Structure 1
Amino acid sequence: MKAWLIANQFLMNNKFSELTNWLFQAAKAANIEMELRTNAECLAILGRGGVDAFKQYHETLPEFVLFWDKDVRLATYLESLGIPVYNSSQSIALCDDKSMTHLTLGQYGIPMPKTILAPMTYENIGYTDYDFLKGVGKELHYPLVIKECFGSFGAQVYLAKDEEDLLGKVKQIGTKPMLFQEFIKSSEGRDIRLQVVGDQVVAAMYRYSEVDFRANISNGGKMRAYQPTDRQINLAIECTKILGLTFAGVDLLFGENEEPIVCEVNSNAHFKNIFDCTGVDTAKQIIDYILMEKGNKR
């Protein structure tokens, strides 16, 4: 069986290369002839003769693609050629844009923080007034959370303690898409990451921080292995099914009565930390599941 592992040409640092190498080795152990290709090496060729040119350039197309990137345009193009892509372009797009994640999950009554989407503006115009922020503060109360719709590792997540702080952070973000959420005080500095593959939670870790309202490891948080409850497991799996994901990292918060609340769903969740924490090899789990799924479809 031949496959491609797609990674981003411009994000090939040690942190990301380690993961792609890990996936590559897992495929090799499963006797899959996997080629590592970047999105810059697989240019989507459209228009007259475009598909034929793409096929001729690559000679042999893969039986499936493990898409370890967020280039949804390329993922969509590969799907248009009839190649199964994991995760799908639509799933990646829904997770990459946090506003779309919440819009989609909200249609199914998934428990999540009260969320307000910032009105769209144009880059060459910006916000000509900030009156809408008064409504945000009144509805969500302070402190409240601000998230850029596109971001990873908690780096684009902020806490506003009052109206002045909110205005300053919104001006700092500028015209980038953003959303506002109620601050779940009962989950301050703690959450859980559940690694889902197929219809199973294969690993889970508890993340906590004593210095930041965010529990992300990249922001100085700590971690330990965690045994999720049935309620947490079922919620994580339900989210991945709604979003059409084959594999994902689902982050859950703790409500006032420890009830699970969905924070985020990550289509390309980094799994080194959860491996260090639990010993579960997510790369192997992903490859094994794809092989099982493809075998069932034959």
Structure 2
Amino acid sequence: MHANGWIIYNDSLPGNKFIDFAQWLANAAIRKGNQVKIISNSDLLSFLSHEELTLFTKERPLSLPNYVVFTDKDIYLARQLELLGVRVFNSSEAIRISDDKIATYQQLAMAKLPIPDTIIYPKTFAPQPVKHRILNEAIGKLGFPMIVKEAFGSFGEQVYLVRNEHDLIENINNLGTKAFVLQAFIASSYGVDLRLHVVGNQVVAAMKRQSANDFRANITAGGTMEAYQPSEAERNLAIAATRSIGADFAGVDLLIGADQSPIVCEINSNAHIHNMYDATGINVADFIIDYILRETEGVANV
């Protein structure tokens, strides 16, 4: 019997890159002889009662897959599948931590991995003036320029570079009650970062991203990309960062420190892979599916 899997994506998000990612994964699974379905999270309705915990789908009766590859961030759906006994890649907890940059930095700090110096701005439930004690502490600890980064955001958006106290106060006021951090700016990595894609305990592909006119190197923000051969230190850091959030695979973004040493910027539990293929010719989906089949070998005869 061949393994059968679901690739879950979110159809409420604009653009084709989300269904594109799901299709790459599905094609890789099919090449391995798997039966696979691409399913939107809106086609899976979680149901809870005092008697039952299940999913309502278009198909009745419900037939659960051997595994799910989760390209979405609907952590409640991911958790529902786990409670039903399905192995989800990545796990709901890994997705939750990765999606929340504050939680990610806490895990990285716990693992004693290099990150930019970071201050978590206190949670507020209503917009209020910036407290001078917090402002003075942040400026004294981090200096200018400084990064203001929202806890939730993608593609380099929701990240702001501030150069003085006036801009910092304006940014904080604009964020209102959103969760965010203040971070030291890594000037040596202005407009440059490294994306290493980790699967299991290995880096399977890497690229260097650069922007000529933006402090962010994201391709969505106008950056360019090229294949990159990471050093042993960069590989080890990316693998350790992925492990720190409990992910099976991830795209790890590294900054370049003043002494050329790598610093973790972000971890993406569902990093898209099309750009990586364009830059390197490496199809990360094949590595992901191979890993999943090894991990679920006892679930189905694959």
Q: What TM-score do the two structures reach when normalised by structure 1? A: 0.95
- Quote the sequence identity (%): 45
Q: CA RMSD in A?
A: 1.6
> Is 1:109 the counterpart of 2:112 in the alignment?
yes
Question: In the alignment, which residue of structure 2 is the partner of 1:159?
Answer: 161
- 8 Å CA contact 2:46–2:55 kept in 1: the answer is no
Question: In the alignment, which residue of structure 2 is the partner of 1:41?
Answer: 43
Shift of 1:54: 4.2
Question: In the alignment, which residue of structure 1 is the partner of 2:214?
Answer: 212
CA distance in 2, matches of 1:225, 1:129: 43
Q: What letter corresponds to residue 101 of structure 2 in structure 1?
A: K
**Larger CA deviation: 7-16 vs 45-54:** 45-54
> Is 1:225 the counterpart of 2:227 in the alignment?
yes
Evaluate the alpha carbon distance shift between residue 296 and residue 197 of structure 1 in structure 2; reply closer, same or farther with a 3 A threshold: farther
Give secondary structure in 1 for the equivalent of 2:291.
helix
Evaluate the alpha carbon distance shift between residue 129 and residue 184 of structure 1 in structure 2; reply closer, same or farther with a 3 A threshold: closer
Paired residues for 1:21-32 under 5 Å: 21-32=23-34
Shift of 1:134: 2.5
Give secondary structure in 2 for the equivalent of 1:95.
helix
Structure 2 gap ranges (5+): none
Equivalent in 198, 212, 215 of residue 196 of structure 1: 198
Paired residues for 1:252-267 under 5 Å: 252-267=254-269
Question: In the alignment, which residue of structure 2 is the partner of 1:130?
Answer: 131
Give secondary structure in 2 for the equivalent of 1:234.
helix
> Is 1:79 the counterpart of 2:57 in the alignment?
no
Give secondary structure in 2 for the equivalent of 1:40.
helix
Q: Deviations over 1:6-36 (max 9, x none)?
A: 1113126312221111111111111111111
CA distance in 2, matches of 1:73, 1:53: 12
Question: In the alignment, which residue of structure 2 is the partner of 1:143?
Answer: 145
Question: In the alignment, which residue of structure 2 is the partner of 1:178?
Answer: 180
Shift of 1:127: 2.4
CA distance in 1, matches of 2:19, 2:55: 29
Shift of 1:191: 0.9
Evaluate the alpha carbon distance shift between residue 296 and residue 234 of structure 1 in structure 2; reply closer, same or farther with a 3 A threshold: farther
Structure 1 gap ranges (5+): none
**Larger CA deviation: 288-297 vs 242-251:** 288-297
CA distance in 2, matches of 1:196, 1:98: 18
Q: Deviations over 1:244-279 (max 9, x none)?
A: 111100011111110011100100101111110000
Give secondary structure in 2 for the equivalent of 1:193.
strand
Give secondary structure in 2 for the equivalent of 1:263.
strand
CA distance in 2, matches of 1:120, 1:59: 42
Aligned residues: 296
Shift of 1:53: 6.4
Give secondary structure in 2 for the equivalent of 1:82.
coil
CA distance in 1, matches of 2:61, 2:82: 16
Give secondary structure in 2 for the equivalent of 1:151.
coil
Q: What letter corresponds to residue 169 of structure 1 in structure 2?
A: N
Give secondary structure in 2 for the equivalent of 1:45.
strand
